[in-house]
Amino acid sequence: MNFYEASVLEEGERKLQQGDILYPVPFVGFSATEAVVLTPDAEEPDIVDLTQSTDFPAETQLTVNVGMSNGIVLNQSCDLSDQPGRGRPILIARVLLPEERRIKVSPSNPVKKNVDNIRELANPGKRPSVFYLPEHESTGFKMPKSVADLLEVTSFPPRNLAALSRLIRLRLSHVALQAFQERLTYCFGRFGAPDHLYLNEREREYEEQQARGSG
């Protein structure tokens, strides 16, 4: 059973889908308390605690750290559109080596240890926020054993859809995509809010009356 689609993605087939693995994807970060900020009227940037600031002039610049990495598309395929009014931000989770998340899956390990650790990764109850990706090598692209960190996500505007589609390097098989969708559901749907959390007093009373009437 294959984890990835065997066919090579031709240029005309590169329409972005959920679970597609892209490279290179920029992931950025900065410190909220020690941000490097350059305002339009300043000659040199300042170190700013953003938690103590409420507003900045237009065209203020923020220096960020950029890392290039593999990434995996989180959006449902039907939501990936660049049409005005229909497109949504494109969400891509970072794909990285297991050891960067203290996960012990490595070619240097005994086979039994890797099998045991991979079995644990396959259990959503133990690793709900990561998704294991087996190694893959093809013409022009090589990916070692990796994990997708579903909580480390960058977003791009819908107008970047065509450009991101050109970065597709690998596509999940149907079975692997189902496993990925299951992990997303488990990761982001683990917690439920109280039934009345979003209702005001009048709306709660209405629901209670409806419940008594149906009883």
Instruction: Note the pLDDT tens digit of each residue in 141-157.
Output: 999 999 999 999 999 99
Interatomic CA distance for residues 143 and 125, integer angstroms = 26
pLDDT of residue 191: 58
Question: Whole-model pTM?
Answer: 0.82
DSSP string, 142-162: EE-SEEEEEEEEEEE-GGGHH
d(CA 150, CA 92): 9
Query: What pLDDT score was predicted for residue 83?
Result: 73
Structure confidence at residue 117 (pLDDT): 81
| SS3 category, 112 | helix
Q: What is the pLDDT of residue 138?
A: 86
**CB burial class (10 A; 0-12, 13-18, 19+) of residue 22?**
buried
Report pLDDT for 45: 96
pLDDT attached to residue 12: 56
- Identify the pLDDT of residue 112: 79
Q: Give the Cβ contact number of residue 75 at 10 Å.
A: 20
Q: Which pLDDT does position 203 carry in this prediction?
A: 82
Tens of each residue's pLDDT in the chain, 215 residues: 799 997 666 655 678 999 999 999 999 999 999 999 999 999 999 999 999 988 999 999 999 999 999 999 999 998 897 777 667 899 999 999 999 998 887 777 778 778 888 888 888 878 899 999 999 998 889 999 999 999 999 999 999 999 999 999 999 999 999 999 999 998 987 555 666 677 788 888 888 888 887 65
Sorted by where each begins, the domain ranges of the chain are: 11-214
